[in-house]
Structure 1
Amino acid sequence: MLDKTLPYFNVIMKRRAGLPIETWALPPNFSLKWFVPGDEVRWATIETSVGEFSTQEEALKYLRQTYLPDGDELSRRCLLVSAANGDAVGTITSWWNMTEKRRDPAIHWLAVRPEFQGLGLGKALVSECLKRLTRLEGDRDIFLHTQTWSHRAIAIYIKAGFGIVKRGSFGNYPNDYDEAMPVLRTVLPSLMS
C-alpha cells in the first residue's frame, strides 16, 4: 500500500550488471503465472488496491494504452502471483524504457494487495522479474522509478541489489534525490545510513 502520509518525491534506482540474483521463494499456497489475455482486470484490481490508481477503469485505461500495444511482450514480461483459490494478489512487470536511443531494462509496477503484504510475495516477484529481465535483455544495468510513498518496496529493492541514484535518470523520469533522501531516512533508517 502506498504511504500517502509522506511527501511525494521521485526516486530512481539502479542495479548494476553482474550482481548475483537472490532467489526468494513464494510461501506455500501461492503460485506464479505469466500474463495472458484476460488478465487485464486482475492487474487493474491489484494496482488499484494499493492506491496506484483511483479507479479500476483508470488502471485498465493505462494498461491498454501503455502495454497492450505490445501484447506479445506483456505475456512474457508481466508476472502475477495467485493465491490457492486462484485470485491474483500480486504483480510485477519486466519491461524497458527508452533513454534517448538506449533501451534500458526496467522493473515496472510491483504491487501486492494489502491483505497479502508481509508474506514475502514482493520479494519473490522482484527475484523472478530480475531473472526474466536478465534472460530477455542480457546481463545489463536494470533501472526502476519509484517514489517515497513506496518505501516498503524500496526496502525490497535495496535487498535485491538496487541502489538509489543520486544524479541522472533513465526514460525521462525526474530524479528528486535531494528531496527524497531526508524522507526515506525517517522511514528506512537502517537502510539509509
Structure 2
Amino acid sequence: MVDKTVEVISVAMTKENLSDYPKYQLPVGYRFVMYQPGFDQAWARIETAVGEFNTVSDAVAYFHNEFMPYAAQLPRRCIFIQSDQGQVVATSSAWFGELFGSMLPRIHWVAVDPAHQGKGLGKALLTKTFQVFESLGESGQLYLTSRTWSWKAINIYLNFGFQPYLGEEPVNWNRTKVNFKQENELAWKIIFDKLNQE
C-alpha cells in the first residue's frame, strides 16, 4: 500500500548496470506469467488495491492509454505473478522510456496486491523484470520513477542497486511550475526520513 500520510512527490532512480542484480526466487504457490488478453483488468485491480488509482475503471483507462499503443510488446514485457489458485496478484513491466532524452530500459508500474505482500513477491518480481530485459538483449543503464508515498518499494529498489537521481531536471520530466532541485531534495528527505524510522 502507498503511504498517504506523506506529501506526494515524484522521484526518479537510475542504475548503471542492468546485468548486475540480486537473484530472488518466487515462494512456493506462485508462478510468473506474461501478459495475456484481459490482464488489463487484473493490472487495474492490483494497482487500485495498492492505492495508485481511486477506481479500477480509472486504472483500466490509464493502462489502455499507457500500454496499448505498444500492444505487441505486452506479452514480452508485462509480467505478472499468479497464485496456484489462478489469481493474478502482482505486476511489473520491463518497459522503456525517454525520461532523459534517449530511449532507455525502464522498470514500470511495480505492484503487489496487499493481501499477498510480505512474502517476497516484490523482490522476485524485480529479479524477473531484470531477466526479461536480458532476454530482450537490453543492457547498460536503466531507470524507474516512483513517488514518496512508495518509500517501502523504494527501499527495495535501493537494495537492487538503484540510486536516487539527484541531477538536473530530466528532459521529459513533465512537471511545470516547480523548482525541480528543491522539490527533489525534499522528496528524498521525506523518503530517507521514513526509511530511517523503520
TM-score (norm 1): 0.92
1:186 aligns with 2:186: no
| Alpha-carbon offset, residue 10 of structure 1 | 1.5
1:109 aligns with: 109
The offset of 1:168, in angstroms, is 3.2
For 2:193 and 2:145, how far apart are their aligned partners in 1?
20
Aligned-partner SS, 2:103? strand
Residue number in structure 2 paired with 1:131: 131
Counterparts in 2 of 1:180 and 1:134: CA distance versus 1, 3 Å: same
Question: Judging changes above 3 Å, is the alpha-carbon distance between structure 1 residues 142 and 100 closer, same or farther for their aligned structure 2 residues?
Answer: closer
Secondary structure, counterpart of 1:64 in structure 2? helix
The aligned amino acid for 1:30 is: Y
1:172 aligns to what SS in structure 2?
Answer: coil
Equivalent position of 2:67 in the other structure? 67
Quote the offset at 1:27 in angstroms: 0.6
Check 1:5–1:18 CA distance in 2 against 1; reply closer, same or farther (3 A cut). closer
Note closer, same or farther for the CA distance 1:28–1:11 as it changes in structure 2 (3 Å cut). Answer: same
> Match of 2:74, as an amino acid?
L
> Which runs of 5 or more structure 2 residues have no equivalent in the other structure?
none
TM superposition shift of 1:185: 2.1
Change (3 A) 1:116 1:20: same
Using the TM superposition, give the Cα deviation of residue 171 of structure 1 relative to its aligned residue in structure 2, in angstroms. 6.5
Distance 1:152 1:182 in 2: 14
Give matches, 1:14-93, under 5 Å: 14-17=14-17, 20-93=20-93
Deviates more, 1:167-176 or 1:50-59: 167-176
Which residue does the alignment assign to 1:160? 160
Counterpart contact for 1:134–1:140, Cα < 8 Å: no
Contact 2:18/2:142 (<8 A) preserved? no
Equivalent position SS for 1:167? coil
Greater Cα shift, 172-181 or 7-16: 172-181
Q: Which runs of structure 1 show a deviation greater than 4 angstroms over 4 or more consecutive aligned residues?
A: none
Answer with 130-139 or 43-52: which moved more.
130-139
| 1:139 counterpart SS class | coil
1:141 equivalenced with 2:173 (yes/no): no
- After TM superposition, the score normalised by the length of structure 2 is 0.90
1:167/1:177 contact within 8 Å kept: no
Q: Output the CA distance in 2 between the equivalents of 1:188 and 1:82.
A: 29
RMSD of equivalent CA atoms: 1.9
Distance 1:142 1:169 in 2: 17
Secondary structure in structure 2 of the residue aligned to 1:5: coil
Shift of 1:18: 5.8
Whole-angstrom CA distance in 1 between matches of 2:72 and 2:99: 22
Q: Distance in 1 between matches of 2:60 and 2:133?
A: 24
Report how far residue 101 of structure 1 moved: 5.2
Equivalences, count: 191
